[in-house]
Chain A
Amino acid sequence: MVNRLFPTQEIGSLPKPPWLLSYLRGNSLDRSDLDHLEKWSYALNFESKSETLEILNQPKTNERQQRLRQLASLFGIRFLESSGLDIVYDGEANRIEMYEHAIRNANGFEFYGRVRSFDNRYYRKAACVRRVGFRVPYHLDEFRYVTEHARKEVKVPLTGPYTLAEWSFNEYYQRTRMGTRTDLRTIKEDAKRELLLDVANELLKPNIESLVQAGARWIQVDEPALATRPEDVPLFVEAFNECTRGVNCKLSVHICYSNYQSLYPHVLELKNCSQFALEFANRDSSRKSAYEQLQLMKDAGESREIGLGVIDVHVNMIEEPRIVMERILMASKFIEPLKIYVNPDCGLRTRPWDVTYSKLRNMVAGADLARKLTGA
C-alpha cells in the first residue's frame, strides 16, 4: 500500500485508443490513429509500440484482436503510471462500458435494443429474464494482466450491484410475483429488492471472490446509479454488505453526482467499506466550496478514508496544480489528512487524451504541492 500523504488514484475509465476502435470495427486506420500511437508511445515510453503497429497492419483475426486488447490495456496502465498516479488500473480498456460488460457476461439477461439517454444518444439496456446467475469471472483475465504488468499499486474498479440492477429491466422477478395481483406498486418494489440481492449474491459476490483469490488487494465498487433514487440507499447498503461479506481485501465505493447527505445515516452500516471516492470538483465554485460537505459527512458520523474528487471530468479546462492543492487543503480542514486520497471526480473516458493526461499530471503535481505545504 502507498505510504505517503495524499496518495493519487485513478477512478475508472479512460478514452479508448482510436487505433483500437478502428481495428475492432474493421475500419481502415487513418493517419490520426497512427499519429496517436506514435505520439503517446513516445510520451509514455510504451514498450509495445512495434508489436501494436504490426498487428494494426495485418487483417483482423480473433487472436490478433485479443492481443491488441491486451496491448490497449498495457497502454492504459502506462498512461496512468506516466501521469504519476500512485494507484492505477488500465482505464477499463477492454470493457464495452461499465454496465454492458458485466451484464453480457452474466446469466439471466437479454438485450432487446437501444434506449435514449439524451438527445440522439442511446444505450443498450438489458432485461433480466431469468434468475440472475454467475457465468464467468468477467474481470479476472483483465486483472491478471494488469497485475502482471503494472509497476504501481493496483485497484480494480467494478460496477456495483445497485447500478447493474437499477439499469436493467426487471422481468423475471416481477413476473414471479405477479399472478393476478393488482397492487402494481408493491409488486414492483418487492421485485426490485429481489433482483438487487440476486445480483449482489449470485453475480457480484463470485466475481469479487475470484478477484481476491487471484490476489486483488483493493476493489472499488462503482455505484453511479445511486444518484437516481436516494430512497434506495438502504437497499444499496444491504446489497453491498451481501456481496462483500467475508471478503478479505480493501473495498471502496465510488459515488458521484449525488446528494451525499441523503446517503446518511444508512451508509454508516456498510460493513466492509474503508473508503468513499466521491465527486466534488464538479460542484466546487469560488462562491461556495464543495469540500465543506465533508464537515456535514463527518457530523453524520463518517470516519472512513475519502477519495477526494479534485478534477472535473466534464470540462476540458485543465485545473492548475494550485487549484488541486487548495482543494486538498480545504478538505484537510474537515477530515484527517491521512484519510485523504486524491482522484478525478469520475472516469475520464469522455475527455480527449491530451486533456486527460494534463488533468492527471496536474492532479499529481497538486498533491505534491499539498504535501510540501503540510510538511509531509
Chain B
Amino acid sequence: MYAFHLTGNFPRPDELIDVSRQLDRGRTDEKEFEENLTSSARKVITLQMTNGLDKLVDGQLSWQDIFRPFSELLDGVKAGTLRRWFDNNTFYRVPIVYDRVRRNEAPITKYYRHDLIPNRERRKAILPGPHTFAKLSENTAYASFADLVDDLAHSLADVSRELIEDGYTFLQFNEPSLCRATSQELEIAKSGFELLARNHAKIMIHTYFDTVSHIIEDLLDFPVDCIGIDLYANDINAFDQYSFSHELSCGCVDGRNSLIEPVDQIVELITKVRDAIEPSQLYVGPNCDLEFLPYTVAEKKVRLLGDVRRRLNGQ
C-alpha cells in the first residue's frame, strides 16, 4: 500500500558546495569536482536505502536547476538569464528555445547516475514535464505553444527511452506550472503525456507549490500512473469526492521548511488520505525538492520518512 520516495533535487553536501565554488574560481579541476560529485551521490543514495525508501534517486546533484541538463541533452535549447523559481528565493536560468527541439547525442549518464543505484527496479528518474518546460521557456522558435510542447514531449520521450534502457522503472515528470494551466493548456499537456506514456515505465506527474483541486478532474484523465500533490498547498478534503483510479504521491514532508514534522502527524495525515481517497498505491514523500533546505536538514527529512515508514509498517 505505501511506498516512499524523494521527489526532486537533493541539496549538495557542504564539501561539494565548496568544491563547486573552487571550480568556479579556477582553484580546482573537473576531476576533483566529478569525484566529489560521485561520492556525494553515493551518500545520498545510501541515505535513502538506509531509511528504506522504495524508489531511489541519485539526488541530481550535478543539476543547476531542473532545466539545465536539457540545454545540453537537447538541441534547440540553451540556458538564458536568471528568473525566480516560483515563490522561492531561488533562481533558475530560463531555457531559451532558439531552434527546433530534438534529442541530441550527448550522453544522459552525466545527469542520471544509474550506475550508482544498485537495484534496477528501484531506480527512479526525475524530468521536467513538457508543459512546465514550455511555459517557463523563452520561445523564439515555435509559432505555437502547442508545437513547442509537442516537440518537448517527443524529446523527453527519447530521453525516457534511454533511461528505461538504463534500468529506470519509474519516471517522474515535474509539472508545477500545470497548477495554473488553462483548459486549453491542459489539453495540450495531456497530448504530451500521451507521447510519454508510450514508453514502458511507470509515469508520475508531480504538481507542487500550488493547489490542484480545480484541475484534478483533468489530471485524472491524464494517461499517467501516478499523480503527485503538494499537501502544503492543498486541502486533502477537496479530493475525497473523486474516484482515484491512479496511484497517488502524497507530498506531506515540507521541502521548504526546516521544521522536522512530528511522525504522528504525518502518519495521521497519510491515514486520512488513504481513507478519503483510497488510491491503489500511496507514495509518501516531500512535497517538492529538498534542495531548498541545507543538506543536514534534508538528511533529517529522509530519516523522518524512514520513521514514518516503520510506523506505518508496524515496525
Binding site for B on A (CB under 8 A): 112-120, 122-123, 125, 127, 166-167, 169-171, 174-175, 178-186, 188, 225, 227-229
The answer to whether B234 and A185 touch across the interface, beta carbons within 8 angstroms, is yes
Known: A188-B232, A228-B87, A229-B87. A182 touches B92 (CB 8 A): no
What total count of A-B pairs have CB within 8 Å?
97
Minimum CB distance partner of B64 in chain A: A119
List residues 77-96 of chain B with CB under 8 A from any CB of chain A.
Answer: 82, 84, 87-93
Please report the C-alpha to C-alpha distance between residue A186 and residue B17 in the assembled complex, in whole angstroms.
34
Binding site for A on B (CB under 8 A): 11-12, 14, 17, 20-21, 23-24, 64-65, 82, 84, 87-93, 231-236, 252, 254, 257-259, 261-262, 264-265, 268-269, 272, 291-297
The answer to whether A169 and B84 touch across the interface, beta carbons within 8 angstroms, is no
Other-chain residue from B88, B257, B272 in contact with A174 (beta carbon distance below 8 A): B257
Please report the C-alpha to C-alpha distance between residue A214 and residue B23 in the assembled complex, in whole angstroms.
46
Contacts of B272 in A (CB 8 A): 182
The answer to whether A185 and B233 touch across the interface, beta carbons within 8 angstroms, is yes
Please report the C-alpha to C-alpha distance between residue A178 and residue B262 in the assembled complex, in whole angstroms.
9
The answer to whether B294 and A115 touch across the interface, beta carbons within 8 angstroms, is yes
Per DSSP, are chain A's interface residues mostly helix, strand or loop, or mixed? mixed
Minimum CB distance partner of B298 in chain A: A113
Other-chain residue from B14, B93, B231, B235 in contact with A114 (beta carbon distance below 8 A): B14
The answer to whether B268 and A180 touch across the interface, beta carbons within 8 angstroms, is yes
Contacts of B259 in A (CB 8 A): 127, 169-171, 174-175
Minimum CB distance partner of A225 in chain B: B89
Contacts of B21 in A (CB 8 A): 120
Other-chain residue from B17, B254, B264 in contact with A184 (beta carbon distance below 8 A): B254
The answer to whether A182 and B84 touch across the interface, beta carbons within 8 angstroms, is no
Other-chain residue from B90, B269, B297 in contact with A117 (beta carbon distance below 8 A): B90
Please report the C-alpha to C-alpha distance between residue A179 and residue B293 in the assembled complex, in whole angstroms.
23
B204 shortest CB reach to chain A, Å: 21
Minimum CB distance partner of A122 in chain B: B17
Please report the C-alpha to C-alpha distance between residue A229 and residue B86 in the assembled complex, in whole angstroms.
9
Please report the C-alpha to C-alpha distance between residue A339 and residue B294 in the assembled complex, in whole angstroms.
44
Contacts of B23 in A (CB 8 A): 120
Instruction: Write 24 A-B pairs (CB below 8 A) sorted by A numbering.
Output: A112-B258, A112-B293, A115-B292, A115-B294, A116-B11, A117-B90, A118-B64, A120-B17, A120-B21, A120-B23, A123-B89, A125-B89, A125-B294, A171-B257, A174-B257, A178-B262, A178-B265, A182-B272, A183-B235, A184-B254, A185-B233, A185-B234, A186-B235, A228-B88
